[in-house]
Structure 1
Amino acid sequence: MRDFPLGVVIVTFNSGGEAVDCAESLLAAAQAAGVRLRVALVDNASDDDTVARLRGWASGETPYAAPVGLPFDLSPVAKPLDLREGGADLAPDPGARLTLLHNAANRGFAGGVNVGLAYLAQFSDIEHFWVLNPDSVVPPEALTALVETLPKAGDYALMGGRVTYLDPSDMIQIDGGKVNMATGVTANIHLGQSHNDTPPPASDELDFIMGASMIASRAFYEEVGPMREEYFLYYEEVDWAMRRGDRPLLFCEGLRIYHHAGSSIGSPTLSRLASPFSLYFKHRGRMMFLRRFAPKRSLLTGYGYTLAYAARLLLRHRAPEEAHAVLAAAFGLRPPASVRARLSGPAAEIAFAAPKRTALL
């Protein structure tokens, strides 16, 4: 086994079972590739048994069994694992390969990721940071492709690969994203297409890398800084990519993960309308993004899209609660009660804080 200059951030919130599968598959893939990684699990103040599940898995007290229907073979790694724990200000330990960091509150996606990035950045041997969703699993060949590609990547900003659904496992969720600067609407490249029949995109087609599987170079992170946390959910990675300057976005062929896709927050799928909670933060983030990057040219069309989208929810889908969430989010109104009920205490204060009126870029 050799050390590899890659740190991995996995943010958890009430996702213990999924996070265990993610971490197990990642470490098994690293073992197959013959490399050692540094992995930071960041718990966003889960109020269920997520932390207990992670501890039981790492200690070996809870024997690991791969989920039924996994589309690749998974050989569990030997236990116990040396799991170090601490708060967001935990000092680096050169011997620590697996760390569980505890946030005092649910700080949202970017808030959790930023804690993991700040911790891993203290290790001078790490040159690349991989952000990985807890509801994803990593087949061995994905990490092998990444290990082969990163040493040749040059001075890049962000790198991604293919994300397919866990079920059906041949269907692509995203190969990187596009963003319409008139409306702020994002689109998933190759969404719904067959993995086996679809070639990878060219890197210059990409506007952003999906946060479910996103690698950042140290040079990019140190120059641009962390992700902006005021989005809470959605658009953090789009914003981050827009600040990359001349550094390119790259696509790593062979880096394919499988993703449950928004099971906890109700993100949309090809067969399911997004939940009011998901719609609220998606459309709030869309307008925050437009105000930051295209305030004069696109706000009119951004609000116009909001009205058209809400009308479609009402007329085509008979979804008044979802339409209310979209309108409240885009126009800065009080969030619907069903959305507010999903968060409480410090998490609600963070999530529903008034967006910062920051200068362009």
Structure 2
Amino acid sequence: MLPPASLKAQKGRGAVSNLQGRHEVHARSSFDDGWGAPDDAVGSSDTAAWKTQVSEEMARSILSRNSSPDLPFGVSLNPYRGCEHGCIYCFARPTHSYLGLSPGFDFESRIVAKVNAPELLRRELARSAYVPEPIALGVNTDAYQPCERERQLTRRVLEVLHECNHPVGLITKSSLIERDLDLLAPMAARRLASVAITLTTLGPAISRTLEPRAAAPARRLRTIRTLTDAGIPVGVSIAPIIPFVTEPEIERLLEAVRDAGAINAHYVVLRLPWEVNPLFRQWLEAHFPERAQRVMNRVREMRGGKDYDSSFGSRMHGEGVWADLIHQRFDKAMRRLGMHGRGGRFRQLDCTQFRRPLAVPAPVPTSRDRNAGQLDLFQSG
């Protein structure tokens, strides 16, 4: 991990370094030899160095399936890779390593848009073997992150689902979801749509460093009220619960979301898989140096002495005395407020109304297909 002296927070970014991905062959580190400033591997006061870039990808498939007992859904769709919201705790950060990019600054500044997502979805729903089940939209990275305003991939995906009467559950931190009320409200009236809003803290100061480009906490509460008033069932994900940072707010968070109209809630304790671990610890040293060791000690106490344990059944909530205490506090507050637990509304979405799309676009070759075609051309001789 980088030494504390090298850690420098960037305005508008969650990460404080461009940490190398675990698949890189050569290790690199920044070093100040006295002849000039260290390079941007550690950080730079020049925020232009990490201006957001959105590149386009022609995806080969669009639906991802999982069999995890910890999740209430089996199928998900993510229109974007990377997320400009910059949440330092995001479990999807390590996926940027597969692209040869950093889970640090790169994850939140180099976004990949799957521009053929709506067409791929339409073709998938048209398959004779397709069996409908609720699709979770925007699970890995937020489907309503800032670039969605221009790209509108999420809206076009919703238009396909609306046309086919296909059930969908969305999770987001963005107020941009209000743009699509014209699609979501009628779908919700037919038990075809539900929404979950992630809320981590009520404190704007903490939120600005923890999730710098997501909607402010007060704005998310207004979004819950707007969706609720439109007849859309809204649940809340209190995630992640970070000991000594957001953990003291559990009861106040639940009360605030209940008053805003949320009907159910669940929580996830801080998870530190792969590169999220060093990135989060750098963030702690940069923003909460006086309590960094206490936070990590408590995290390890909930993970059997390790920074993270990925075991099914315990990875979301942890184990041990502190994990039990968080569970009891959450459960007691939920009962007092008359709220329900996770996943109920998602599982109640109706799949019986599904109808296959009438128009199906012809397949568009991906870049890999086009390269394969060029190779065949040369081999044919």
Query: TM-score scaled to structure 2, two decimals?
Result: 0.24
Structure number with the bigger relative contact order (C-alpha 8 A, sep ≥ 6) is: 2
Which structure carries more strand by proportion? 1
Query: TM-score scaled to structure 1, two decimals?
Result: 0.25
